[in-house]
Structure 1
């Protein structure tokens, strides 16, 4: 099979879109390793005093990712994110107004390979979150591991990313003044192993920690479905029970992060590479589920709210699937 090269006369606007997405893919896959290598090399050089000073800062600042993070409105409004948005494009769809005096847990589905919709909508202002939901501050939760990487942690916190620990979520949801939104990719990194075009399987049946915390803090639950999230990359076949899937599951249990073997297109050709396909992402924010604060929720309370959440998520999907090109026979599957 031949390689399909990109034409030479592509408009500058589209080249800038590709460059913005390339930067994002690099940040997701390699920036942390580069930051760590830079930190080590500086420590072994004549600049070791600078590393020592940063290490002291790191010690003082260690808990920030679990205490609301340190967002930068300047970084969130970089014009680069507008090019990132337009590449796919990414659209944030609002269905109802949300009261800024309350705290919310957004359950984001599906995880996809690299959570492109989650990043574009909640870590940047490119799709207009602050305009659509005035008074609310979004925080996308990310594995704690990444906040231990020197320098890299500063960059990701600028976008509003915070640690996905229970204490981090509790901190956000316990703010009495309200206005906080914790965005959780509920399926987690394990769901990324099933992310491929056409996939509608969500790993959510046993994910109840966010339900318990919503009850404990009286946070409103909001189902969010990102149509097109799984269409961005192809992935090597790894059915449950296959040698590849067993290896991936083993590595995930050791490292805490999954390693989907994905591919899509390249920068100058369309046949192979790690740049996502240009497929539209429409992230629909559903209606909030009212939650009565229950400091010590019983298992029955958790099960009941979890079932209601899955019902509302299914309802949201069914209401909007035709609008975004899905067929009648396509339904969500929960595992």
Structure 2
């Protein structure tokens, strides 16, 4: 394989963008393990009392990820995320105003390999979420497992990440004063296994839990499509039924997280590595679907609203796909 080296005269601004994305990749793939190892080493050292105090705090604070988290605006507005945004770049597009006295469920599509657009738009202020949607707070939902990791859980909560448990989502959507936005990467881990350039297939037909909770709390449903999300990484071919896909599906069912074998670019060369390719991400927030509160929705209620959601998502994609350079014959597929 021919290696495409980066030129030596890359501007400092682009180097800083690469560094910002590199630290994010490390945070996503390795920070949790480092935090856990540090906590274990602290527990075994002469400073074990600090570990005991933190463990006590962890126990007392264990429900915070299910009750809106603990965001830190200083971290969300850090200049690091501006460099992160400009690396791709990422742009957040508003199609209509959203009322600040209501709660919303943003269905984010597609998941992509690492949900890069979801993080950049809703866990930082680099693309101007608060300015575009004044009075609203975005909360990106993440697997509950990660909020059990010492230290790491506090860091991810600072960006607005919360647990994806039902109790967490219900807490956000039941606030009578409104103003909460629960962002759900609906395709979740299984969809990440199909994330590769050109992919337009979404795992959505059987995913109705977010529809049910929106009905229960009368939260408005908003489809969100992130153009370019699947263009950031290449992935080893893993068609359904192949030995690799069977193994990945098995690991996903056991651990709850997917293990896509992806490839991007490196720091000083563009041929391979864990960094995403510099591909633009255009995240479009659609028109809200008005949902009447139904404390005990029937399966018919859920199916009907689910179909409406699929229609709105398809319309959003068709209306904006040309802005991203997609062709007329390219359409979404739901499985």
Question: Partner of 2:227 in structure 1?
Answer: 227
Q: How much does 1:319 deviate?
A: 0.2
Question: Partner of 2:307 in structure 1?
Answer: 307
Q: What secondary structure, in the 3-state scheme, does the structure 2 residue paired with 1:194 have?
A: coil
Counterpart CA distance in 1 for 2:109 and 2:317 is 10
Q: Which runs of 5+ in 2 are unaligned?
A: none
Counterpart CA distance in 2 for 1:154 and 1:189 is 23
Listed as ranges, the matches of 1:1-335 within 5 Å are 1-335=1-335
Counterpart CA distance in 2 for 1:114 and 1:149 is 19
Counterpart CA distance in 1 for 2:111 and 2:4 is 29
Q: How much does 1:159 deviate?
A: 0.1
Counterpart CA distance in 2 for 1:38 and 1:79 is 27
Counterpart CA distance in 1 for 2:259 and 2:188 is 12
1:124-161 CA-to-partner distances (Å, cap 9, x unmatched) read 00000000000000000000000000000000000000
Q: How much does 1:4 deviate?
A: 1.0
TM-score normalised according to structure 1 size: 1.00
Q: Which runs of 5+ in 1 are unaligned?
A: none
Counterpart CA distance in 2 for 1:222 and 1:74 is 27
Counterpart CA distance in 2 for 1:176 and 1:243 is 49
Q: How much does 1:261 deviate?
A: 0.3
Q: How many residues align?
A: 335
Counterpart CA distance in 2 for 1:243 and 1:311 is 35
1:176-234 CA-to-partner distances (Å, cap 9, x unmatched) read 00000000000001100000000000000000000000000000000000000000000
Q: How much does 1:2 deviate?
A: 1.9
Q: What secondary structure, in the 3-state scheme, does the structure 2 residue paired with 1:323 have?
A: helix
**CA RMSD between the two structures:** 0.4
1:98-136 CA-to-partner distances (Å, cap 9, x unmatched) read 000000000000000000000000000000000000000
Q: How much does 1:47 deviate?
A: 1.0
- Structure 1 ranges of 4+ moved more than 2 A: none
Counterpart CA distance in 2 for 1:281 and 1:135 is 25
